[in-house]
């Protein structure tokens, strides 16, 4: 592509817009010069269009390709300085002059091909003159043969060289593609004149015979005009393709697969870093893209699930690290007031989770985890009401209530009874705050003992664990919990993904089931004697079967579909002379037929040639017939069956 060798250039869409508003007779060169030039400086690509790059820039780029290939300079050097081509020209070539044998002008040696005495300009003019020679005679001969002698016309144009056939196509405004072979050009020319001789044929060149002259069938009308196709491709390349990997998040299904043509599908595949084979059909490319989209979506879902797990785990770790030992219920039962708590001794009674401080039992209430604040205050030589009246305590209760989401009247509970049975129970964190209020020494010892009790399940006399040891034990438990959570979440993710895959499979099965139901409904043709040509789209060889039916072609096709599911109807006419046509065509292609138990198949002959032979015989024998124009309606169901 020429843009590879340019430092800057306009996109196809911008180039169209720039030329759109230029006056007639000029065009913008998108090559090295990047300037407006006369149309004469551009080469024609067809009867109406011109190249995007002028001839001078085209020659410069082509010559640069050769020099880059020979290693004289690099692509980047050429991009930065187009005049490098002049620098690489030898001084001998610049100084040496030769005289052209045709125009007799003295020109630089660079204007001549190696060992040639005719300059490049004169050589080009000679080639044009040589190609134009005898063209008037060719046009006159074609005009004599084009309507009444199609076979002689085909033989005649077969002898014409390809470059002159191009001029013939341009002269008669037939139209061609740059990739057309000589055989294709010959077919297009004969088809063009055959269409003119038979005005009932579809103007779209699909071969269908219509009931109205010079009209186009519905199938050909749907073909988009070339200009719209170009603009559509430009818009797709500039606006859709760059973000296709992000915007195309759902698979291409039956309703969206015709949104893109095959070239666009190949571009989409390349955007997803896929490399479809050169001969891959639309369905294969779509399947590759859908598989890639499935993998991307599954990866995204897995990443999202992993992110959710990590967030949950991180949250649990933060909550675990910030766990206050006051969150577990502990009750303190005291029978005697203790004024001095500095010489407190601790005894392990793991069985009932009871700690004894100088004959005072500390008991954890298992029902709700609350702590007996009355007995705690007595153990510390304090009264609960004094702590309750403290402004700091009131503020602490309000903030704690909003933090843990428990109403203030539920944080502290009162149990009524006799004087000895009355007690006040408080939320564990309130109990720790009370311990801090009673005494710093009381707070430190009780907090440490309770923390070890919560972590290890027991406290041994005079063998209390250090804060570091307790922290390590706590981390080990957290790590174990974290591993278990990840394992469970991974199992959950796999289960969810498996359910989604099963759901998709179920949906695909339902879609295929609906298609199977639709397949049973085929287009119905009229009854009566007829002649037909069918093919097998599943066959690996090129073969066509000709046949006749005297009652109903619908029953005949139904029988074929049973044994050959890929049956496609290529041609159908209604006539009483169907047997005569069948015998004539079988005799004509006797060497190409194969006998398969009363089924006559013609091998390695294109269907266009078969249809042409049938039409030629009908015209020659003056047979009256009616052409079926709705063959596409029948074949639609066949293609649905093939795609499913």
pLDDT in tens, 547-572: 999 988 988 888 888 788 788 899 99
Percent of the chain topping pLDDT 70 = 76
pLDDT exceeds 90 at position 510 = no
**Nearest one of 300, 236, 296 to 268, comparing CA atoms:** 236
pLDDT of amino acid 575: 93
Instruction: Output the six-digit token pair for 563.
Output: 């044994």
- Span of 76-85, 182-191, 225-234, 393-402 with lowest mean pLDDT: 225-234
**Helix or strand or coil: residue 637?**
helix
**Which residues have a Cβ under 8 Å from the Cβ of 11 and sit 6 or more positions away?**
234, 237, 238
| Cβ burial, residue 74 (10 Å; 0-12/13-18/19+) | exposed
Q: Using an 8 Å Cβ cutoff, are 119 and 102 in contact?
A: yes
Q: What is the mean pLDDT of residues 72-85?
A: 84
What does the buried/exposed string (b/e) look like for 362-400 if buried means 16 or more CB atoms within 10 Å of the residue's CB? bbbeeeebbbbbbbbbbbbebebeebbeeeebeebbeeb
Q: Which residue has the tokens 């539920």?
A: 410
- Span of 155-164, 191-200, 218-227, 624-633 with lowest mean pLDDT: 218-227
- Span of 55-69, 428-442, 465-479 with lowest mean pLDDT: 465-479
**Helix or strand or coil: residue 203?**
coil
pLDDT of amino acid 626: 92
Q: What is the mean pLDDT of the chain?
A: 77
**Helix or strand or coil: residue 27?**
strand
Q: How many residues does the chain have?
A: 644
End-to-end CA distance of the chain: 38
Instruction: Convert the pLDDT of each residue in 238-248 to its tens digit.
Output: 777 887 777 77
What angle, rounded to 10 degrees, do the helices at 428-438 and 440-456 form?
150
**Nearest one of 376, 473, 381 to 433, comparing CA atoms:** 376
- Span of 86-95, 242-251, 538-547 with lowest mean pLDDT: 86-95
pLDDT of amino acid 523: 79
pLDDT exceeds 80 at position 328 = no
The model's pTM: 0.26
């Amino acid at each position: 592509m020429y843009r590879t060798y340019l430092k800057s250039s306009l996109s196809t869409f911008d180039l169209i817009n720039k030329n759109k508003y230029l006056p007639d007779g000029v065009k913008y060169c998108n090559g090295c010069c990047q300037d407006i030039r006369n149309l004469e400086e551009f080469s024609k690509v067809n009867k109406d269009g011109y190249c995007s790059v002028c001839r001078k820039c085209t020659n410069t780029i082509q010559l640069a390709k050769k020099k880059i290939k020979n290693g004289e300079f690099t692509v980047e050097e050429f991009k930065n300085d187009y005049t490098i081509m002049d620098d690489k020209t030898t001084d001998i070539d610049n100084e040496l002059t030769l005289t052209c044998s045709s125009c007799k002008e003295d020109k630089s040696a660079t204007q001549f091909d190696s060992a040639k005495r005719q300059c490049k300009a004169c050589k080009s003019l000679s080639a044009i003159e040589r190609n134009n020679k005898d063209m008037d005679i060719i046009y006159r001969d074609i005009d004599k043969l084009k309507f009444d002698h199609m076979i002689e016309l085909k033989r005649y144009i077969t002898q014409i060289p390809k470059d002159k056939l191009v001029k013939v196509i341009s002269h008669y405004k037939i139209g061609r593609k740059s990739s057309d072979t000589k055989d294709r050009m010959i077919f297009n020319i004969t088809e063009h004149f055959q269409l003119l001789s038979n005005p009932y044929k579809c103007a779209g060149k699909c071969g269908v015979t219509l009931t109205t002259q010079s009209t186009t069938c519905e199938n050909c009308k749907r073909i988009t005009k070339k200009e719209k196709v170009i603009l559509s491709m430009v818009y797709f390349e500039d606006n859709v393709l760059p973000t296709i990997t992000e915007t195309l998040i759902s698979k291409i299904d039956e309703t969206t697969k015709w949104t893109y043509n095959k070239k666009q599908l190949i571009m989409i595949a390349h955007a997803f870093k896929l490399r479809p084979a050169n001969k891959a059909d639309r369905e294969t490319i779509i399947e590759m893209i859908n598989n890639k989209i499935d993998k991307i979506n599954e990866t995204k879902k897995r990443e999202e699930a992993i992110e959710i797990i990590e967030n949950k785990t991180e949250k649990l770790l933060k909550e675990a690290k910030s766990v206050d030992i006051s969150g577990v219920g502990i009750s303190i039962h005291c029978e005697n007031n203790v004024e001095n708590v500095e010489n407190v001794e601790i005894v392990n009674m793991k069985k009932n989770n009871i700690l004894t401080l100088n004959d005072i039992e500390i008991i954890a209430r298992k029902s709700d985890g609350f702590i007996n604040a009355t007995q705690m205050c007595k153990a510390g030589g304090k009264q609960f009401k004094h702590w309750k009246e403290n402004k700091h305590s009131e503020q602490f209760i309000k903030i704690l209530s909003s933090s843990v989401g428990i109403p203030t009247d539920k944080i502290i509970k009162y149990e009524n009874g006799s004087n000895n049975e009355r007690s006040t129970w408080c939320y564990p964190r309130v109990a720790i705050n009370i311990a801090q209020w009673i005494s710093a020494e009381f707070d430190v010892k009780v907090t440490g003992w309770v923390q070890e009790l919560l972590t290890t399940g027991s406290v041994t006399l005079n063998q209390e664990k250090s804060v570091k040891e307790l922290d390590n034990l706590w981390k080990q438990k957290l790590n174990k919990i974290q591993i278990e959570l990840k394992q469970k979440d991974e199992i959950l993710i796999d289960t969810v993904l498996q359910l989604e895959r099963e759901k998709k499979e179920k949906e695909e099965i339902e879609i295929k089931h609906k298609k199977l139901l639709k397949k049973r409904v085929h287009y119905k043709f009229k009854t009566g004697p007829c002649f037909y040509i069918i093919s097998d789209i599943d066959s690996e060889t090129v073969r066509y079967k000709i046949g006749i039916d005297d009652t109903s072609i619908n029953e005949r096709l139904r029988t074929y579909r049973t044994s050959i599911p890929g049956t496609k109807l290529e041609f159908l006419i209604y006539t009483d002379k169907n047997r005569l046509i069948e015998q004539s065509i079988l005799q004509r292609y006797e060497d190409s037929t194969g006998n398969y138990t009363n089924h006559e198949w013609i091998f390695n002959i294109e269907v266009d040639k078969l249809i042409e032979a049938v039409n030629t015989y009908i015209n020659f024998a003056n047979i009256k017939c009616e052409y079926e124009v709705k063959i596409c309606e029948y074949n639609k169901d066949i293609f649905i069956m093939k795609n499913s």
